[in-house]
Amino acid sequence: MIRREEPNYIPIENPPNILIILLDDVGFGQADTFGGEIHTPTLSRLWDEGIAYNTFHTTSICSPTRAALLTGRNHHRAQTGSITERALDWDGYLGVIPKTSATVAEVLREYGYKTSAFGKWHNTPANETTAMGPFDRWPTGYGFDY
């Protein structure tokens, strides 16, 4: 077994908590936080008490949007031009985020953060989502602690 050394991270005095929320199949204007009709008091409180960014390039489907958000790259540069199950052997459509594209979790780890991913992942090929693994394309393989 190879033991990974703890990274030499840059300590930040009073680092902020970071929460990234990605919702599938929800229009931006549906929550009352953003002027919609659906009552979302917790989301509104988070918005009011923190810094919020409300412009983001989304794609028409989930896996590419997640890959873009996780890597900060265009979804084709993150090799996820379509959902993972529709992967092809074309550039930009391999369905697997390359290890050369660091994720936000990997970057935050370098600054001493602990990270978690909850909910739908949908960025691991279906034949790798069994108890047999491999686990390098699961959230923990992309820098998330949990």
Q: Which of 39, 57, 62, 76 is catalytic?
A: 62
3-state per-residue secondary structure call for 78-98:
CCCCCCHHHCCCCCCCCCCCC
84 contacts 103 by C-beta, under 8 angstroms: no
Amino acid (one-letter) located at 130: T
Q: Which of 39, 57, 75, 122 is catalytic?
A: 122
How many Å is the maximal CA-CA distance in the chain? 53
Question: Is 62 one of the catalytic residues?
Answer: yes
Question: Is 122 one of the catalytic residues?
Answer: yes
82 contacts 95 by C-beta, under 8 angstroms: yes
User: Residues 7-46, buried b or exposed e (16+ Cβ, 10 A)?
Assistant: eeeeeeeeeeeeeeeeeeeeeeeebebbeeeeeeeebeee
Active site positions, annotated:
62, 122
